[in-house]
Structure 1
Amino acid sequence: MPLPMPSRDAFRAALAEAPPPDAAAAAAARARDAVLTKPPGALGRLEEIALWHAEWLGPRRGPLRRPQIVVFAGEHGVAARGVSAFPSEVTGQMVANFRTGGAAINQLARVLEASLDVVALAPGLPTADFTARPAMDEAGFLAALNAGWDAVDPEADLLIPGEMGIGATTAAAALCCALFGGAPADWVGRGTGVDDDGLARKTQVVAEALATHGAALSDPLEALRRLGGREMAAMAGAIAGARARRVPVLLDGFICCAAAAALARATPGALAHCRAGHVSAERAHPRLLAALGMEPLLDLGLRLGEGSGAAAAALLVKAALACHHGMASFAEAGVSEG
């Protein structure tokens, strides 16, 4: 079967041609919000969430009925440099845990009544150590982008992309440093809980990667190919695929937002359909959200990945939509307007 995005140019074109929000749906949502039995603005950010959701779903707008969580998993060659507190084989072991229902994201998916798909990318085959050469070749990069694009349910009314990959916070830190500048130390955090020596190794690895790839990193998608993981490229593909299908997206933590940032830098407005589910405990995540101009819905000190923070935030989305679509108007309830 031919790839839906057979080249990087085709992917860029799909981003550039992605549909805008539905102005008529947005106007209808604002009009409904104005007559619900509450003072204007009384539901705070829940009102903004409902309006955001409506403008992207358009005629399909309504209560949250079909949220989709997709966890992408990929193995990182850079993990061999001792940048994680866990060995690289944990990636495959956690994929098995997702598939048997034992992970945190499985429990959150049940509470949310969301579908949960697990996409393992080239299991058993780590990316290249990006301190020496690009993490992915062009064919592998396109395959990961397309895996993400294809994973999106076109009937979903919310997408939550998650990830699993030992070494991924190192890749995310390197990618953010390439996209936004600053020193490696500005973007490197403790990830799975490395000690001071591990933090120093991560920082050195990021510095080496930036020196190796140099000016090639000025292209955001090339930076993602050279420094990212397959799961990060797949998340970028899924986020882009959701935009093409007008499916709103809740972003998860530092790794997910780093993947999304490559899209934002490649095409202004590429993340208009996205909101930040939460701000994680990974110390560079607030810096990244500020660079993206996003305000998170939750701040719970999470640092698990898997889409877990965004899944928790999706419960707020569900509550916001229940209020917006279920409340009575002043006229329906026989309540006097102020």
Structure 2
Amino acid sequence: MAAAEDIGSLEEIRDLLKALPEADAEAEEIARERQAQLTKPAGSLGRLEELAVWLATWQGRNPPSVDRPYTAVFAGNHGIAAKGVSAYPPEVTAQMVQNFIEGGAAVNQLCSLANADLRVYEMALEEPTGDISEEPAMSEEDCARAMAYGMMAVESGIDVLALGEMGIGNTTSAAALCHGLFGGAAADWVGAGTGIDEARRAEKTALVEKAVALHKGVLDDPLQVLRCLGGRELAAIAGAILAARMARTPVMLDGYACTAAAAVLHALDPKALDHCQVSHMSAEPGHKRLLARIGMRPLVDLDMRLGEASGAMVAVLLLKAAVACHSGMATFADAGVSGPSENE
């Protein structure tokens, strides 16, 4: 794989997508065999069983572990924010980054609870992307560099990578990405974001519709859709997901904006997100529609819409529960408990 810092074009990103590694089938088989031997009826732990197998499959080992979860939050500013698409002004992005650094955000508390490392990646906050309703968000070089920057967040030895974002205006870009990639009406993808009223939501919808119409010439190329309608932090998330796949590192996605970034890779290759789980169903209405389009099922539905990897970190706690049961439970043989009858 080319070194992330050497990537300077979207064509180099395309080349990486041609050689995505597969999961470890042997580790998957061993994990499934252990699940069948644990002192419980088959399938009785539901998705916790599947999560343990998924982790083992992508970590390439059994038992899997969640001793070193790593949380990466990418922050970027959007030119479209100047048109009032958010309840908060653009300067809140930098202010919230400082809050992350000082330990005052929700994600800080959840990372502490999960014993996860947290790193915040600022992406030229003083230089918002282009206003997508009037021009492309990024040049090709800027988009490729943002993806490469995200790729560099994937360090060796990570058990699971939790991804999140911060950026005033990014639910507008997320909606535009989804509208551009999957069609439908703009209103299908636009929600209240940080809490705008219905009048401003209608204005936001009109801007998303205008943006997608402006860039209709690139809608058959998902990377160009990302370049024209996305943002630096969303491009970085896509890059981090790609690098994690190359390293066979499991990924926990956050909510709507994060999943929209991931959907760019899915549009390029439907198997590109096999190493990912979606943590939660966002209260943003477009998220449910997006998950249906990419065929992914969230782990929880808590009406969250905060972003900043908060939902991803709640789901990492579920991963810890899955691994604890998978690794710590006795087998029928160990406990002297009779297994299921052969005629059942």
Report the TM-score, using the length of structure 1 for normalisation.
0.98
Letter in 2 for 1:97: N
Q: Which of 287, 296, 304 is the equivalent residue of 1:294?
A: 296
Counting only pairs closer than 5 Å after superposition, residues 303-318 of structure 1 correspond to structure 2 as: 303-318=305-320
Residues of 1 paired with 2:180 and 2:210: CA distance?
Answer: 12
Q: State whether structure 2 residue 88 is matched by structure 1 residue 95.
A: no
Residues of 1 paired with 2:96 and 2:102: CA distance?
Answer: 10
Work out whether residues 63 and 327 of structure 2, in 8 Å CA contact, stay in contact via their aligned partners in 1. Answer: no
Q: Percent identity?
A: 54
1:133 alignment partner in structure 2: 135
Counting only pairs closer than 5 Å after superposition, residues 117-196 of structure 1 correspond to structure 2 as: 117-196=119-198
1:41 alignment partner in structure 2: 43
2:228 alignment partner in structure 1: 226
Residues of 2 paired with 1:200 and 1:59: CA distance?
Answer: 50
Structure 1 residue 123, shift from structure 2 partner: 2.0
Counting only pairs closer than 5 Å after superposition, residues 225-304 of structure 1 correspond to structure 2 as: 225-304=227-306
Q: Which of 190, 197, 200 is the equivalent residue of 1:198?
A: 200
SS at 2:72's partner residue? strand
Pick which of 43-52 and 56-65 moved more: 56-65
Work out whether residues 67 and 157 of structure 1, in 8 Å CA contact, stay in contact via their aligned partners in 2. Answer: yes
Letter in 1 for 2:331: S
Work out whether residues 10 and 141 of structure 2, in 8 Å CA contact, stay in contact via their aligned partners in 1. Answer: no
SS at 1:337's partner residue? coil
Pick which of 105-114 and 203-212 moved more: 203-212
Letter in 2 for 1:197: A
Q: State whether structure 2 residue 126 is matched by structure 1 residue 110.
A: no
Residues of 2 paired with 1:227 and 1:215: CA distance?
Answer: 12
Report the TM-score, using the length of structure 2 for normalisation.
0.96
Work out whether residues 164 and 254 of structure 2, in 8 Å CA contact, stay in contact via their aligned partners in 1. Answer: yes
Structure 1 residue 322, shift from structure 2 partner: 0.8
Structure 1 residue 63, shift from structure 2 partner: 2.6
Letter in 1 for 2:93: T
2:87 alignment partner in structure 1: 85
Alignment length (residue pairs)? 338
Residues of 2 paired with 1:183 and 1:29: CA distance?
Answer: 43
Work out whether residues 16 and 267 of structure 1, in 8 Å CA contact, stay in contact via their aligned partners in 2. Answer: no
- Post-superposition Cα deviations, 1:110-148, rounded to whole Å, max 9, x if no partner, equal 001111010000121100101111101112111110111
SS at 1:56's partner residue? helix
SS at 2:277's partner residue? strand
Residues of 2 paired with 1:66 and 1:279: CA distance?
Answer: 25
- Post-superposition Cα deviations, 1:158-202, rounded to whole Å, max 9, x if no partner, equal 111100000000000001000000011111111000011210110
- Structure 2: segments with no counterpart, 5+ residues: none
Question: Alpha carbon RMSD of aligned pairs, Å?
Answer: 1.2
Residues of 1 paired with 2:8 and 2:28: CA distance?
Answer: 34
Structure 1 residue 260, shift from structure 2 partner: 0.3
Structure 1 residue 105, shift from structure 2 partner: 0.3
Structure 1 residue 2, shift from structure 2 partner: 7.4
SS at 1:85's partner residue? coil
Residues of 1 paired with 2:215 and 2:42: CA distance?
Answer: 52
- Post-superposition Cα deviations, 1:17-51, rounded to whole Å, max 9, x if no partner, equal 11101000000001111111111111111101111
Letter in 2 for 1:198: R
Residues of 1 paired with 2:161 and 2:63: CA distance?
Answer: 14
Work out whether residues 163 and 306 of structure 1, in 8 Å CA contact, stay in contact via their aligned partners in 2. Answer: yes
SS at 1:188's partner residue? coil
Pick which of 22-31 and 133-142 moved more: 133-142
1:335 alignment partner in structure 2: 337
Structure 1 residue 83, shift from structure 2 partner: 0.4
Q: Which of 50, 55, 58 is the equivalent residue of 1:56?
A: 58
Structure 1 residue 334, shift from structure 2 partner: 1.9
Letter in 2 for 1:137: S
Structure 1 residue 16, shift from structure 2 partner: 2.2
SS at 2:236's partner residue? helix
